[in-house]
Amino acid sequence: MTDPILTALLASLDDKRGVALVTVIAAAGPYQASQGRRALVWRDQPPLGDLGLGELDARVLTDAAAVLSGKQHRTLDYSQEMGATLRVFVEVQRQPPHLVIVGAGHIAVPLASLGSLCGFTVTVLDDRPQFANRQRFAQADQVLAAPLRETVHAMVSDGRLDKDSYIVLVTRGHQYDIDCLLEVLDAPLAYIGMIGSQRRVSAVFQLLNQEQGIPPEKFSRIYAPIGLDIGARTPAEIAVCIMAEIINVLRSGPARSLAAARRVRDEQRRLRVTGRPVTVDGASLLMLAGRAQILPLDKPPRACYAVDPQICPPPFDPPPDFGSPRRETAPGCPETSFSSQELSLTHPFRSLHERSPLSCCVGVRSFLFLFSLFIFTTPSCRG
């Protein structure tokens, strides 16, 4: 005889639906006969099965539904409250991660295929039926031809977008990307990616900060420009770099995103004067001769105090909490090549005569030039 609980459980797994198996694992006293009984709980349909707990049955299943929403296994203990041993184990079968592709253009087609291949539940959304259709997205689980912003807002409101959701904004225009971005900016999503160049993305975020008062810190969670830097050019290659970044986020991988450089520049713009090490996206920002270098934090720290010379012209006395000025070592440079007074976040492109003659890069280049000149002009060196 087929077990209806097992049949429904397997069907839910095949349909990629979240479900919780509720099992009475310990019972005594009036609940002894219920030990070993099971039931299933979904988020969008009534429970299946009877735990045999009488009036307590509905309450246990309601608590199990809350556990399912939390997406973590849990043991519910009612022993003290009931005056008898009663423990229930809720085993959550989480639904696969949800990939939502907003925009059904050329990049969306290979991206939907890759998402399905990697085990994601794939939803494609576009307001143009000639693009959002089953003929173009045969492997997607859901294809929606509907207004973009209104549909995204509804998906956030009814809980279809949650911490297991990965949304990619690749619409036909930046205005549509921005409209959808504003709907998900505060949503508890696992990943928000938006296509666009470094300059365009920074300009958009700066405009939203100025016109709508959105704090710049909120944009740090946005992966824009989207994807990993693999030199992608074609729509299929761009889809690969986007999917690689999503998997990198899902698995907490070590790869650095294209968005990391944008975050560094945005942080550089905000931190005009600081006495603390500048840290952005898991790396230290070192301003050296007008260029930003990203130093992994797993290496010995080289913290730099960045000071605007117009505000604190050398020599300066930093505030007590800034610490004392100190000389730092740059990769491949002498120990005393430059000091914190020679670094500036606000003037990364100062002319050479305004910098210290001990500036690291200028010193190294000058040394190499003079050394090569000495080699090629000395007869003994030429043999």
* Whole-angstrom distance, CA of residue 88 vs CA of residue 336: 66
The residues that bridge with 23 in the sheet, in sequence order, are 38, 89
**pLDDT computed for residue 368 by the predictor:** 64
pLDDT tens digits, 16-72? 788 899 999 888 888 888 888 899 988 878 888 888 888 888 888 888 888 887 778
Look up the pTM and report it.
0.59
* Whole-angstrom distance, CA of residue 40 vs CA of residue 208: 46
- Residues of the chain short of pLDDT 70, as ranges, are 1, 80, 269-383
* Whole-angstrom distance, CA of residue 281 vs CA of residue 177: 23
Residues 6+ apart with CB under 8 A from 182: 208, 212
Q: Which two tokens stand for residue 126?
A: 């576009």
**pLDDT computed for residue 32 by the predictor:** 83
**pLDDT computed for residue 344 by the predictor:** 33
**pLDDT computed for residue 267 by the predictor:** 72
* Whole-angstrom distance, CA of residue 27 vs CA of residue 270: 60
**pLDDT computed for residue 207 by the predictor:** 86
